[in-house]
Structure 1
Amino acid sequence: MTVLFTERLRLEPLSERHLDGLHAMNSRPEVMRYISGEPETREQTAEMIARVQRCWAAWGTSWWALIELQSGRLAGAGAVQHLRREAAPPTDLETLRSNPLELGWRLHPDFWRRGLASEAAERMTAFAFNDLSAAELLAVRHPDNVASGRVMDRLGMQFRGLEPWYGMSLATHSLTKAAWQRAGAAEH
């Protein structure tokens, strides 16, 4: 399992040791507003961690805990994972392997408006394109989640429209490896 670093974050594959910090974030209504609409119970957070660990084993990627280096606190979570059409995760993760890779993130409100989502998303994008050899990455959001839309715009993602993912109609954005490489070349 891969640990990644940015200037201010350490991205660690989610494990049981992140349960308290992850639950402190996922139990907040404002965090889950555009994700499930409901705060998670501790049991749901523990189930998420167990599912994530199966994904890491199956795919070599999934959700990371975003640990702020300065404080050591869990600032959020971010993922490169296979999208799914259905609301509930399948028992057989191999059925998702043919679906596109998704870039995702969420932050604890204590860490909002600091640029950490963009910082983590940039590092996870590089991981997807360089380490996983992805040709394209998608990111999905509730249509009202403007803040996530801004992160997607900063990454250079293009809006594709509303598409059915996770049992909902979600704003879907995409970034190809070629466009990402062109943008990187333009920055130097």
Structure 2
Amino acid sequence: MTLPILETKRLRARPFTSDDLADLVCLHSNPVVNRYLQPTNVAWDISTVKKRLAGFIETQELMGFSKWHLSTRDGEFVGRAGFSLYEKTAEVEMGYTLHQHYWNQGLGSEIAQALVEWFFENTYYSHLLAFAHPENHASKKVMIRAGFEFRETRMVDGMPCEFYQVLSPSCQKLAVPA
């Protein structure tokens, strides 16, 4: 069993393993869950899920962080949450995707706040990105609650996205209000 990297009051996050394929297939088989992840809100096919899972595992090995397997303290799979490299700018992006039946329970805010804390306690990056489709009001609220501030709107894989960022605590001390 892989040990958790991060724990909150209700959640545990641990690196993905190849044994987690069925969990990810189940998560991304729901087009409603995927509606803001790509221009077409369709279920991901097995080859897409396998590629994503392999990428999560490889990124964890290379960078020491990635998107992680998210479960309740009792072990029920909730979704995925963590970090990835936004290659267009070489910045790190925080993201999460939860099973639909876990929405509106405060779990997004709980994991987002914990991820921000973990990131700045365990890395030397100056800031962290997060982005969401302009119509994904729930995710934008979660980002703001976690300390992110709006930065810009740009296209990501053919979809408009609103980018937010949060500065590291040491950078926040240096930032001068406008």
> Are positions 1:41 and 2:32 aligned together?
no
Residues in 1 aligned to 2:4 and 2:64: alpha-carbon distance in whole angstroms: 8
2:84 paired residue among 74, 77, 81? 81
> Are positions 1:50 and 2:50 aligned together?
no
Aligned to 2:32, what secondary structure does the other structure show?
helix
Q: Look up the match of 2:147.
A: 156
Deviation at 1:42, TM superposition (A): 2.1
Structure 2 stretches lacking a partner, 5+ long? 174-178
In percent, how many aligned pairs have the same letter?
28
Residues in 1 aligned to 2:107 and 2:9: alpha-carbon distance in whole angstroms: 10
Residues in 1 aligned to 2:96 and 2:171: alpha-carbon distance in whole angstroms: 19
Runs of 4+ in structure 1 over 6 Å off? 179-182
**8 A Cα contact 1:22 1:74, kept in partner:** no
CA offsets, 1:15-64, max 9 Å, x none?
22221122111110110001022211122112111111111121111110
Aligned to 2:152, what secondary structure does the other structure show?
strand
Structure 1 stretches lacking a partner, 5+ long? 86-97, 183-188
Aligned residue type for 1:59 = M
Q: Look up the match of 1:185.
A: none
TM value normalised by structure 1: 0.82
Distance 1:68 1:131, change over 3 A: same
**8 A Cα contact 1:82 1:101, kept in partner:** yes
TM value normalised by structure 2: 0.87
1:32 paired residue among 28, 31, 34? 34
Aligned to 1:27, what secondary structure does the other structure show?
coil
